[in-house]
Amino acid sequence: MSTALRVTASKTGLLAYCQAWARPEYEWSDTTGPAAERGTRFHKAIAAYVDTCDVGRTVEDDIAAEYAHAVAWVASLGLTAESANAVVWVGSLGASIDVLQSELAFAWDPDTDCSVMLSGGERDYTKGAGRLCGTADLVLVTAAAGVATHVTIWDWKTGSGASAGPQLRALGLMAARYYGVTSATVAALEVSRSGVTEVCREELDDFALASIAGELAEQIASIATADPIAGSHCGELYCPARLSCPLGTSATAELVPVEALTTRQAFRLTDPIVTPEHAAWALDVLRLVVAKAAAIKEDIKGKVPSDGWVLDDGRVLREGHCRSAGFDKHKALALCTQLGATPAQIASLTSDFSKSTGLRVTGGTAKPRTHRSKAVTT
C-alpha cells in the first residue's frame, strides 16, 4: 500500500477523468474564496446541532436561513434524542434503532477493500496514509438487535450538488465496509435560503459497492504513471493542480510565448502571484490568453460538421444546445400595470444590488492618448 494518497472522496469525480493531478510531485493550489469559507461555517454549525440537539444555537446572519432549513430537515427524520446523540458503535446499543451521526471520517484501503474510522479531529486524514479518506456529513446507521443492516449517507451542499455522485458513492462504500453492511443509500442535500432539496440519491447494493471498489482501486493504482488529460473537468471539477499542470503550462506558453510580450520582466504566468506588479501584468496577459483561446474555439466550431466529428476512439465532437425558461421582466411589469398596480407600487419592486465588474488597473501615470483632428468640411 502506498505511503501517501492525496485523493479524497470529494475528488473521486475528477479522478475518473484524470489521475495525474494526484501524483505527489504536482503542486496544488489551496486558494479558497468567501463561498467556501461560508460553506465551512455552515457545515460546522449543522454538525454541532446534530451532535448536541441544541435547537437554541445561534449562528451568523449570513447562514441563519440555511441553518434553520437544515435543522428542520434533520428534525423531520423523526429520530429520538437518544439516537441523534449516539456516538457509540451500533453493536453496543443491543437494540433495533437508527443512529444518526455527523462528520464521520473514514479511510478505505484499495488493496484490502476494508475501511477504518479516523479519529483525532475534524477531517484529520494524517492517519489515513495509503488509504482513500473522506468525511460523511450525515451517517444514518440502521440496526436490528445490535447489528448494523444498512447505512445512509447524506452530504450537505451549500452550492450545486449535481456532480456529487462519485463522492457520494465513495463515501457509501467507505461506510458500508466499516459497518459491515451490504447496502447503502447515498444522497446530496442542496441547502439554500429557500429550503433543502435532496439530489443524486442512489441505492447501492452489494454488486454496486463491489463495482465502485474495483473502479476506485484501478484509478488509484494508475496515479503513479498517469499522464495529464485535458478536458472540461480541469475547470468544472476544480482540479487542484490546474495552475501547475505541465499540459496547461506548455499550452499557455504556446499561446503567449514570453519573447512575444512587450514587458519582459522576470514575470511568468505560471509563477505564484506575490507582488501587485506581477498581478497587474498577469491580468493583462490573461486577457490576451482568453482572447486567443476564444478565437481558437470559434475556429473549431466553424469547422465541426452539423452531425459532429467522430474521433478515433469513438467519441463524437459536436456543439451542444440546451433550452431553459427565462423570466421576462417587461412582460411582468406590463402584467402589473394591467392588474392595476400604481407606478409607486411597481417602483417598490426594485431593489439595490451590487456585482463585481472584474479586476482592472486604474490611476497612476496617465497613458498617452492619440489626438485626432476633426475633418473640416468646406
The per-residue pLDDT for range 96-115, each reduced to its tens digit, is 456 788 899 999 999 999 99
CA 276 to CA 202: how far, in whole Å? 48
Question: Mean pLDDT throughout 361-377?
Answer: 51
Greater confidence (124 vs 93) lies with: 124
pLDDT value of residue 81: 45
DSSP alpha helix (H) spans, the chain: 12-17, 34-52, 61-75, 81-84, 165-179, 206-221, 233-236, 246-255, 276-303, 329-338, 343-347
Mean confidence (pLDDT) of the chain: 82
Rounded CA separation 59/82 (Å):
24
Residue-wise DSSP of 131-163:
SEEEEEEEEEEEEETTEEEEEEEEEEESS--TT
Return the pLDDT at 218: 96
Task: Look at residues 31, 11, 32 and name the one whose alpha carbon lies nearest to residue 22.
Answer: 11
What pLDDT shows up at residue 296?
A: 81
Least Cα distance to 200 among 167, 233, 173 occurs for 167
The pLDDT value recorded for residue 105 is: 92
The span from the CA of 63 to the CA of 41, in Å, is 8
CA pair distance 345, 343, nearest whole angstrom: 5
- Residue 354, classed as helix, strand or coil, is coil
> Could you tell me where in the chain the CATH 3.90.320 domains are found?
9-225
Q: Contact, 164 vs 199, CB < 8 A?
A: yes
Q: Decide if pLDDT at 95 tops 70.
A: no
Using CA atoms, how far apart are residues 211 and 217, in angstroms rounded to an integer?
10
* Range from 126-135, 180-189, 212-221, 284-293 carrying the lowest mean pLDDT: 284-293
Q: Which residues contact 85 (CB under 8 A, 6 or more apart)?
A: 51, 52, 53
Residue-wise pLDDT tens digits, 334-368: 899 899 999 888 888 877 766 777 777 776 655 44
Phi and psi, residue 105, nearest 5°: -100, 125
End-to-end CA separation in angstroms for the chain: 88
In this structure, CATH architecture of domain 9-225: Alpha-Beta Complex (3.90)
Q: Write the CB contacts of 123 (distance below 8 Å, at least 6 apart in sequence).
A: 103, 105, 135
Cα distance between residue 313 and residue 244, in whole Å: 28
Enter the DSSP assignment of 114.
E
Residue 31 confidence (pLDDT) above 80: no
Exposure class string for 321-358: b at 16+ Cβ within 10 A, else e: eeeeeeeeeeeeeeeeeeeeeeeeeeeeeeeeeeeeee
C-alpha angle with apex 192: 188 to 197, nearest 5 degrees? 40
Which three cell numbers, joined as nine digits, stand for 233? 473537468
